[in-house]
Structure 1
């Protein structure tokens, strides 16, 4: 126990600093917690994109149209948005660790559903549950990583490095899942089972290690009335909040394209049906998103935002032109370049939103920002699927590119002005 002394002025008891050995032990625990949460965050986000290269297999097996693929994907987005609205902010009250454990448990349920119920209706339910887990996790883990890092180092400035790590883990995990799913589907038997078995093991390990992670939120002594996440800007920060939300929306709209219908575009437009190629394409886009955050981390924030917009818009332009002239290398390469821009714009958006408030409100503000972001992951993709029922592929793709590029330019200009 800590020793207690009296203050000279008042005689009131004051807690003496903890012994140096105890402080070192506490920092080691928080350092371990940082890596444990990072592993869990990576595992959950990777699991979220495992089905991306497998949709073509499901589609060929069951004969459903591309629009059905977008419905399956939309179920995931609906789950993410729903859980962000209902529970994404609850870690500010109930603690970070319990919400992370709930998220991992939901992903384990989803993995089992993929294994035992893999017709179209089962896919929709499994993707819905996957989204519920991801929505519960994203804002919570992002806030938890920053708090653990500060307590592990004793340096408030380390929160910035934790923000980079959170962005890399988020988008890097998404890239890893697509690659693992595609590689296992191509080189291992039972492609609609083995990828999910692998992640059952990874998620179970993540659940166990998170049990040992220190909590960083003090629960309130009085009961707090429950309410869903309010989609509103912090007082006095309306313009900055909505600029951040628009940037995050545009960034994930690009990612949504490559986790839903891009493999179908590759197969129908470019006649590329290799499962690993489909997974590698999604991996390349998400990996570029994660890598750009590391490579350009030392640039001034305003420069990162402007570079992100240039890369995102330029990459989408190359992608669209390549689709017109039927150059698959340009289509994939344009996606990778756009992905690099996504990483910079997404991290700037989330970082800008999180910096608007103090720790006691950060989980809620981040949840609101992620809510807008995942609407970008879902709504445009469903619109693409619906448009493909009545329009050819090419004009739909070009329209998508123009809309997302315009949103990115709009948000980037406002974020850069405030950086």
Structure 2
């Protein structure tokens, strides 16, 4: 995401006639990122219902999850910086409209092809909105925007997973109601964005911004190489919880509760967001070290829980692993991105996105294959957990064997 093209407006400045105050606009944007990520995690507790109704295997569950991750990645790499050129509002209005339509597509889905199509549309609109929302919040308030950009997606993921599980468990129309609720939220948010003032002046280069940028300046290559195992471990774990997590926790707990299925992803994402918030003032290297160590220890605890069928131990391990997910990812970004000059950061972020979203989608699909063909859910969970721990161990070893680099001033 490139820098905003205009100076951030004063949050206390009087709004234009008929427009929302900037303070209200900021919190509206924060609510949009929460809603988008809530929508992305809402299907997680529903996979068991879809499997029962349509008779598909865990491979299909992970494919449905994987196509979402790839669609988000495709949108981030193409239209992720479009709002820097055409303005935040046009991109957001289009993305919210597509997201609202996607909720209706989910509610009307009658089979796997419709579910896949809805996930692709959802991923594309989420990726398109991410850059505009993040930049828009920074336009309005640099300090609050940076914190909300880090914590908001995790809060949204947590809210969507738990809220969906509660609606599915206790209210009627389980495969429809959660999507209709989200549809209403997106409609209201779309109206709100229409009433916002534009925070970024249009500038030329919109078509050029759609070109993929994969460029790593020499100074960022070694730090990214060291951060890659931490990124892969964190996002592979998130992908597993978002796809097969509900099946694992139901077997460990011996319960078919949909709330438990959503609670696992909620716990992972909520503890990740709390970690980022609590350690936001820590040095990037410290944050990545603590986060990666948390991944290693937390996943190890969940493996003990699976071996002993302990529900409480499983969630305790998930809390620690989730804190590791949040800390490891934020530590990696804050270690690598500041090393690049402003005009190089889009290319660096593109590489980070590729590593992260491929790690979220592809291992989960492989896990689905292993569930069907190589031993079942719990055996696959153990093998997957060992792989995540191995990646975390490689990241920790790299941190221990390298000296902290002095912060290099980056010219504007």
Q: Which residue of 2 aligns with 1:133?
A: 125
TM superposition shift of 1:134: 1.8
1:92 to 81, 84, 98: 84
1:50 to 37, 42, 50: 42
For residues 301-340 of structure 1, the aligned pairs below 5 Å read: 301-340=284-323
1:292 to 256, 275, 282: 275
For residues 110-125 of structure 1, the aligned pairs below 5 Å read: 110-125=102-117
For residues 363-378 of structure 1, the aligned pairs below 5 Å read: 365-378=348-361
1:343 to 326, 343, 346: 326
Q: 1:222 to 1:340 in 2, by over 3 A?
A: closer
Contact persistence 1:91–1:363 (CA under 8 A) = no
Contact persistence 1:143–1:363 (CA under 8 A) = no
- Equivalent residue of 2:404, what SS? helix
Q: Which residue of 1 aligns with 2:385?
A: 401
Contact persistence 2:298–2:318 (CA under 8 A) = yes
Structure 1 gap segments, 5+ residues each: 1-17, 151-157
Q: 1:99 to 1:221 in 2, by over 3 A?
A: closer
TM superposition shift of 1:224: 4.9
More divergent stretch after superposition (219-228 vs 368-377): 219-228
**Using the alignment, how far apart are the partners of 2:293 and 2:338 within structure 1?**
24
Q: Which residue of 2 aligns with 1:59?
A: 51
More divergent stretch after superposition (298-307 vs 162-171): 298-307
More divergent stretch after superposition (204-213 vs 53-62): 204-213
Contact persistence 2:78–2:212 (CA under 8 A) = yes
Q: 1:416 to 1:137 in 2, by over 3 A?
A: farther
Contact persistence 2:85–2:205 (CA under 8 A) = no
Whether 1:25 and 2:24 are equivalent positions in the alignment is no
Q: 1:240 to 1:97 in 2, by over 3 A?
A: farther
Whether 1:281 and 2:264 are equivalent positions in the alignment is yes
Contact persistence 2:72–2:123 (CA under 8 A) = yes
Whether 1:80 and 2:64 are equivalent positions in the alignment is no
Contact persistence 2:268–2:319 (CA under 8 A) = yes
**Using the alignment, how far apart are the partners of 2:247 and 2:11 within structure 1?**
56
TM superposition shift of 1:223: 6.5
Q: 1:129 to 1:21 in 2, by over 3 A?
A: closer
**Using the alignment, how far apart are the partners of 1:369 and 1:38 within structure 2?**
23
2:63 to 65, 71, 78: 71
Pairwise CA RMSD? 2.9
Q: Which has the larger radius of gyration?
A: 1
Q: 1:222 to 1:264 in 2, by over 3 A?
A: closer
More divergent stretch after superposition (249-258 vs 95-104): 95-104
More divergent stretch after superposition (296-305 vs 127-136): 296-305
**Using the alignment, how far apart are the partners of 1:223 and 1:298 within structure 2?**
35
- After superposition, the C-alpha distances for 1:274-315 in whole angstroms (9 at most, x for unaligned) are 011111221111111111122233334333222211211100
Q: Which residue of 2 aligns with 1:239?
A: 222
Contact persistence 2:295–2:325 (CA under 8 A) = yes
2:213 to 210, 227, 230: 230
TM normalised by structure 1 equals: 0.84
Q: 1:118 to 1:233 in 2, by over 3 A?
A: farther
Q: 1:244 to 1:163 in 2, by over 3 A?
A: farther
> Between Structure 1 and Structure 2, how many residues are aligned?
392
TM superposition shift of 1:140: 3.6
Q: Which residue of 1 aligns with 2:232?
A: 249
